[in-house]
Structure 1
Amino acid sequence: MPRKVNIYVELSDLALKEQVLHKLTEDWSIKWSFIGKDENKATPEKTAIAVIDHPQTIPSIAQGVIIIFVGKHKEKNSFFAVVETPSPDSVFTVIRRAYSYWEITEQNTASLYSEKHEKQALESIAETLSAHIHQLTRQSEMRIALVDQLPIGVLGIDDENTIVLANPKAIDVLAVEDIPIWGLSVSSLLTESVGKFIRDEEKKEIVINRYGQNIIIRKAPFMLNDEFAGTILVLWKPTEK
């Protein structure tokens, strides 16, 4: 099962932020865990990678965090990388580089081997990861295409009740075309009753009213390598199914 990586994305350009978060949720080879502003402030040491675009955010970032600055900044050496002309693809590419750096750093810190053995171990890990990522990339492309074409809404909720996936039909049913929902808690988007519904092991279906229209929601556990990884919510309006 992929290791969980805590990432804090705080960008003033909300459209860019939404697109970057969306690309991360499509990257199934890594289990990204999105850290909110309040959580980073309360426990900054939990953040592994931070993506920011304002100098005033820097003091809230803990020492040792890999910082990616989006936009122009005169002190480029203060950051892991500076993306001066940002786009969703360019920011995502740098985040993947930051993840690789973070992973190697973590492995080096935990390693008890000699330099020779460590090099051999890293080479072996790199080969395994390369093959695994290639396989996961093909699988994820197929899964995403299938989910995107479903005639009913699908939301993916991780084990911390954070929205990590939403297909086009779910965005349409919930009328959130202009709202970046990736990284939001399901309770903040769909009320606490839905959060309680997810935690209730007995209840299988709930009906909520949103903007004067009823929406039916059913759930199923999402498993990775026989371990619980989150919840899949299927939703539709009564007249659509």
Structure 2
Amino acid sequence: MASTPHDLIARSNKLGSDPRVTNYGGGNTSAKGTATDPVTGEPVELLWVKGSGGDLGTLTEAGLGVLNLARIEALKATYPGVDREDEMVAALDYCRHGLGGAAPSIDTFMHAFVDAAHVDHLHPDSGIAFATAKDGEKLTKRAFGDKVVWVPWRRPGFQLGLDIAAIKAANPGAIGCILGGHGITAWGRTSAEAQKNSLWIITTAEDYIAAKGKKSPFGTTVAKNKALPPAER
């Protein structure tokens, strides 16, 4: 497991610098690891996760939220249900470790609950194409087999984190998932493995679309709405 966030930042910057991987300002990445609690001197399990509103491509350590994993896990015992999701996001403030750090985003639970040391949640165009397709679940099975699992749409938050964790546990051979109506999530035992898995999902989706997709999936261009030549834009 990671002991510092340095690999996480490097991975985030690489993923976030390519618009084919994730749209500007979108997505979040994380790493789990052990640090020494400055109060007790004992080891403590932490989650470093990209903070709310930040950009992966320019992420620095100041843009990470740092949370105590045991405290996030403890929230499962007090979870009141999907009707009160907002309360769980507010509770993340009481799970933070140390001073400063970025505010944790609503996707933090996905990163915390998935049983993997490194998790990437991204919004690539190719992944969104699968996530928003009418037959997205069937397409996911055809394109990825058992390596990538479909997750039905659910509002981001606590329950979605539980859903993805359960799906990963039920599919030990999977490297990630397509989140219906949303994007993709991939994981790995190491930072390099998570990055490799994220990029594999994206390129596999691109290749499938190139081979199977229609040239004009939204129909022919309406003449009066034709794009202006570059020089006139």
TM-score by length of 1: 0.25
In proportion to residue count, which structure has more strand?
A: 1
TM-score by length of 2: 0.25
Between 1 and 2, higher relative CO (CA 8 Å, sep ≥ 6) is seen in 2
